[in-house]
Structures are given as structure tokens and as C-alpha cells.
A and B are shown apart, each in its own frame.
Chain A
Amino acid sequence: MPSRSEMGRGGDIAIVGWAQTPMERHTEKSETQLLMDVISAALAPLGLTRADIDFTCLGSCDYITGQAFSFVSNLDAIGAWPPKRDSHVEMDGAWALYEAWLRLQEGDIEIAVVTGSGRSSTGDPSLIYPMEMDPYFLAPLGADPLTFAALQARAVIASGIADERSMAEVAIRSRSRGDVDALLAEDYIREPLRRHDVPPITDGAAAMVVATGDRARRLVERPAYITGFDHRTECHNPSFRALDDSPSTRLAAEAAGLGDGPIEVAELQAAFTHEELLLADVLDLGDDVSVNPSGGALRANPIMATGLCRIGHAADHVMSGGHRALAHSTSGPCLQQNLVCIVADTP
């Protein structure tokens, strides 16, 4: 296997395009159909076909689909004949990208496609996610995502990082609608969270094309080079964590080289308003950084694709003329596991 230095310029890995399905509360398409559409949409502008793809990695979740090995039927969307190099992560597509980024570093292949997909409307998220929690102490209580988010919000508010007004402002900016005083007059759904503080339930999928340096430069004028990529996790039970901090995000950002230079955009997978304020604080983002210009997870939250969409929007910033952007993805209750990806216009 060649070392990094032997790989030279070929060691660069860049995002060259991506696509997302329409983000809907309830789609009539199956997950396989969503992927069929979105993979075609990601490849077509690049003049690529499925035959050009050397490696695929799909991110999805059987718990959401309600079918064991659901990713096997999703393979129908990638055209896996002749047999392809393929992998799957039971995680957001952002982690599928992480695997593809590692795989491309082997240096023997040039192009990978990664996806994230989920039909949250298939089940009731408020009843499904408690079953993914600690099976001894949390699942039997029906400890649900809103409850965990509310407990973290209270901790973030107590630490002075957020208050209910600044949280409402995040909601308004993300969704480009609403009035702070009107929102704060609404009832709590889980004190201190109101309806506007929580994400929508969304069906959707995203697909991204990544390529090694020379191939990327032939495909597009401005590839979004992945210059740093890391993910870290914390203890599974939120009882044992400081909920007003996110040390795993901080470590991942340091390892991904956030401090090596300025960024213009940060796309954060903050499903709840207080999460955006906490993450911005932990990452020490200045006022000059545009946070979630896409509207973030508060505008569309296709679970298993939400994080990959963050990376896609950060890449769009670079491909459309920007210099450097950060994307973040998360998994587990109260920001248990966090991923940071830095993209830039130079390797």
C-alpha cells in the first residue's frame, strides 16, 4: 500500500457533487426509489453513470425502515452488476462519507458514491427512538428524544450559552419565518422546548460523489477538498455526561484542523435550537461565520441523511466560490457522537 506521501496529489480527496430528494413530511416512494432518483441526480451533472463508480457506501437504519437488512434492497439503486465494492453503515450518510474517504485513501480507486436515506414517516419516531436507548435503564421508561433534548436544553440555558429567546431566533433564522414574541407565547411541548425548537419529521435521501484529486479536477472546476475529517463518541448514558458541553465535538474539530484557518460557513446538524447554540459555542464560531445558511435540520430533518446534507451544503459553499467551510453530524441522545468534516478550495 502506498504511503500518503507516495500518493502525492493523488492523495487528495474531494467532493465533486451531490443531490438530495425533495424533503417531505411523507413520501409515497420507497427508500429504494428515493435512492434510485437521488443517485441518478448526483451523477448526471458530472456526466457519470453507475458503471463509473468504484465504491459505494450507504447509510441507513433498519429501525427506521422496519425491515432487517433493508440496505440489501437499497442496493437495487446502485446497479451492483458486475459486482461492486460496497459497504453500509447503520449511521447517517456522513459516516458513509467518512468510510468512503478512508477507502479512497487506499489509492487504487478513484470515484465513490455515498448515500444517506430514511423514511421517518414509516413509523412513529417518538416510539421508535426510545427502543434504541440503553435497554436496562432508559428504554423501559420510554425515554424519548424530546425528553433528552429538553434536559440538555435546560443545562445549556443554565450555563448561559442559550436562552429561550435566542433559541427562538435560531428557529426563525432557520425556517425564514416567525416572530420571537409570538413563538415565546406558545405552550411548551417539553419545557423548556416549544414546537419551534424541535425538528420536523422528514422523509428524504441524499447522494454524494467523491473522487481522488486528479479525477476530481477533471470532473469539476472547483472540487470541495476534504482537508480534515474526524468523529468521536461519548458515554451512551446522558446521566454520566455534562450536558452543557460537547467534548466529542471539540476533539473532532481539533483533529479535523478547524483551527488551521478561518471558515466562512458552518453547517451543523442541530435538530434542536439549543444544539446549534451549544455547538457554535463549543466550536468557538465567531460572528463572521454563517451558521446553517441552508436552514439546517430545523428546516428538513431526513434522519440518516441530515448529516450528509450538512456536508453537501458546506461543499456547495466551496464549489460556488467559497474558500473553507465546516460540516458537522451527530448521532445518539444529547449529541452523543459527533463528526466534523472540513472542506476547502485547496487540498
Chain B
Amino acid sequence: MTRFVASTITFPYKRSLGPVVGAFMSALTERRILGIRNGAAVLVPPMEWDPTTGAELAHDFVEVGPAGTIKSWTWVPFPSEQHPLAHPFAFALILLDGSTTPLLHAVDAGSPNAMVEGARVAPRWRGTRLGRIDDIVCFIPGETPETEGDDTGPTEEPVTRMDYLASITYRNPVPDATDRAIEASKDQCLLGLRCPTCKRVYAGGRGYCPIDALELGPDCEVELPHVGTITNFCIVTPVQYPGQTETEPFVRAFVLLDGTDVIIPYAVVIDLPADEVRVGQRVAGVWASPAEEMDEGGGMGGAWGALTGWIPNGEPDVDDPDLVNRIF
């Protein structure tokens, strides 16, 4: 059975709004909805450019709604975590009074029987508004807008930016070669796979030869040496993005294993400060003891399993001007 791992990727976007979308979002905090004139048309939501010709539109805003008419709709019987309402609701194309293009939004109608083309709806505003399309919680049947909870009023400054947190959970298969490499690492074995065609050796759980496009099975396994030479390195100065755990500059090195053509890329180094790392330095693999092993293995992560990193082994440097070119 193939093993699967789940991972969640989160992107905390900060989006600039620009002069047109920004004006629309700022007006939402005042419980007003703006369209933009495009000849005889009034576009809602407003665009910076004519959707047909691409011509830039003058910033001629028109207040529309807040009530409008249902032009089309569909019923959502099982809302997702991303939807505006947790109970069944309608998504509808709503032609707000004074606009010529419909706005997509949710309608809290109770039942699909209440949804009909031509029905009138009005916004339910959030009490605390940030300048986002979901400052309107949803639309409700009738002509009269309502506000949810205490109204904290418009923002003091015009809204120029919108935060959007995108988060996706993925489940990916772990190739057998990766699991075999992790398993071998628990016995302090650095597993390689030798391509039967070109004889190149690959480490890190890569289950195929990218040159011959061949899958490499257990019969291709070889044990690799634990000693090598740093061919190249970089010093990473961490930027404090969300999820970053490093705070100080750190080294990532490329290690050429003795007697092989195998490069260990982006290797973690141990007891080797950033100002002492150099090309030609001799290093040896360090393994986590079973007691130290975390769920994710040693410090190298992923297919490297219990391999924690690489430590200077005290041998004299290798003096070879070609070493620096070896990063794969």
C-alpha cells in the first residue's frame, strides 16, 4: 500500500486594491455600494477597464442599490468551509438598482422555494466592516438592508489593501523509493539507486533516473559512503514570513560523497558557523538516534530520514578548483 502524506499550504496574501476596487471597498465600510460608468452601462463590481475593449474607464462612480433584483440563482444544499453561510443558501446574480451588470453574492433565503427570478433582495451588512466583498454577509429577501450586530461604522482611512488567506490541504503519495530510503536511514544507511542504463547513482529517495526516464526498483539499491566534501554553499538570511522558524543566517551546503558522483543538495550543517564554511571542507553524516527521531525524521527532512546533517570531520580540505561547479 502506498503511503500518503497530508500537508497544508497557506498563502497569506496582501492585495493592493488600486483606485477603483479600493473606492468600492472603502464605500462598503460606509454601507454603500459603488458601480462605475462605462458609457450608458454601470458596472458592478466596478472595473478599471472596459471588459470588452480594455479601454481605461474614468473614475466616474455611481452609487447603486443597496436593494436589487435576482436575475439568476442556484441553491447550495451543502455549504463548504469557504462559503459565506454555514447553512443552505443561494448563490445569485443580483442586478442592484441602478446597475447594468449583475453582482454574484449569497442570498439567505431559507429555502430554494423562496428563490425566483425577479425577487427583490437587500444586503445584510456586517457590523464591523473591513473593506471586503464579505462586508456584505449576504443578501436577504425584501427591500430593507439590515446590519448584523453592533455597527462600528466606516473605516477612518480609505481602504487600500485586502488580506486574503488562501489555505489548501493536499494528500500526496510517497514513492516507494522514498520510504525505502527513510527505512534504511534508521540503520544509518545512506541509500542510493544506480541506474542500470547510465550507471549514475541517485540519493534522496528519487525513484527514477531522470536521464533515461527509468524507474529504479529495490534491485538498483547501493549503500553510499557517509563522508564527503563541500563543493559549494550559500548562507541564507531568513526573512520573517509566516511559518519561518529560522531567525539567524544559516548555511546550506552541497556535499559530494567520496568515491561517487552523488551530490547531497541543500545539506544542513552541524557545528559549522556561517563564517567558517568553505569549499573543499571535509564533512561526515550525523544520524539521529532512535530516541531523537521526530515524526519527520532528522534535520534534513523528507527522504533523508534519520540523517540529521553534516559535521566537519577534521580532515584537511580538498584543494580542487573544479569542486565549486559541482552542485548536481
| A and B: interacting chains | yes
A residues at B contact (CB < 8 Å): 27-30, 32-33, 36, 39-40, 50, 63, 65-66, 75-81, 121-124, 126-128, 130-131, 135-144, 146-147, 150-151, 154-155, 187-193, 235, 237-240, 243
Contact of B72 among A28, A66, A141, A154 (CB under 8 A): A154
Instruction: Write out the residue numbers on chain B whose beta carbons fall within 8 Å of the beta carbon of A123.
Output: 168-171
Contact of B132 among A81, A122, A140 (CB under 8 A): A140
Q: Which residue of B lies closest to A37 (CB)?
A: B215
Given A79-B213, A136-B21, A136-B133, A142 contacting B80 (CB threshold 8 A): yes
Instruction: Write out the residue numbers on chain A whose beta carbons fall within 8 Å of the beta carbon of B213.
Output: 36, 39-40, 50, 76-79
B57 → chain A, closest Cβ, in Å? 13
Instruction: Write out the residue numbers on chain B whose beta carbons fall within 8 Å of the beta carbon of A130.
Output: 82
Asked if B75 CB lies within 8 Å of chain A CBs, one says yes
Asked if B103 CB lies within 8 Å of chain A CBs, one says yes
Contact of B175 among A33, A121, A193, A239 (CB under 8 A): A33
Given A136-B133, A139-B164, A147-B76, A240 contacting B173 (CB threshold 8 A): no
Asked if B101 CB lies within 8 Å of chain A CBs, one says yes
Q: Which residue of B lies closest to A124 (CB)?
A: B169
Contact of A142 among B25, B82, B208 (CB under 8 A): B82
Tell me the chain B residues, 56-77 only, with Cβ under 8 Å from chain A: 72-77
Asked if B112 CB lies within 8 Å of chain A CBs, one says yes
CB 8 Å contact bits of B166-185 with A (1 = contact, 0 = none): 10111111010000000000
Asked if B236 CB lies within 8 Å of chain A CBs, one says no
**Distance A130 CA – B73 CA, assembled complex (angstroms):** 18
Contact of B168 among A78, A128, A187 (CB under 8 A): A128
How many residues does chain B have at the interface if contact means C-beta atoms less than 8 Å apart? 54
B residues at A contact (CB < 8 Å): 2, 7, 9, 13, 15, 17, 21, 25, 43, 45, 47, 51-52, 72-77, 80-84, 91, 93, 101-106, 112, 132-134, 162, 164, 166, 168-173, 175, 206-208, 210-213, 215
**Distance A123 CA – B21 CA, assembled complex (angstroms):** 31
Interface CB pairs A-B, < 8 A, 29: A27-B173, A30-B175, A33-B208, A36-B208, A36-B215, A66-B168, A76-B206, A76-B210, A79-B213, A122-B170, A122-B172, A123-B168, A127-B80, A127-B168, A131-B168, A135-B13, A136-B17, A136-B133, A139-B166, A141-B84, A143-B91, A146-B74, A151-B91, A190-B75, A192-B74, A239-B102, A239-B103, A239-B104, A243-B72
**A138 x B104 contact (CB < 8 A):** yes
Q: Using A76-B206, A121-B171 as known contacts, list a sample of 12 further A-B pairs with CB atoms less than 8 Å apart, ordered by residue number in A.
A: A30-B175, A36-B213, A122-B172, A135-B164, A137-B103, A140-B133, A141-B82, A141-B133, A142-B80, A142-B81, A235-B51, A237-B51
Q: Which residue of B lies closest to A153 (CB)?
A: B74
Given A141-B133, A154-B74, A239-B93, A66 contacting B9 (CB threshold 8 A): yes
**A239 x B101 contact (CB < 8 A):** yes
B10 → chain A, closest Cβ, in Å? 11
Contact of A155 among B45, B72, B83 (CB under 8 A): B72
Most buried by B among A77, A142, A146, A154: A142
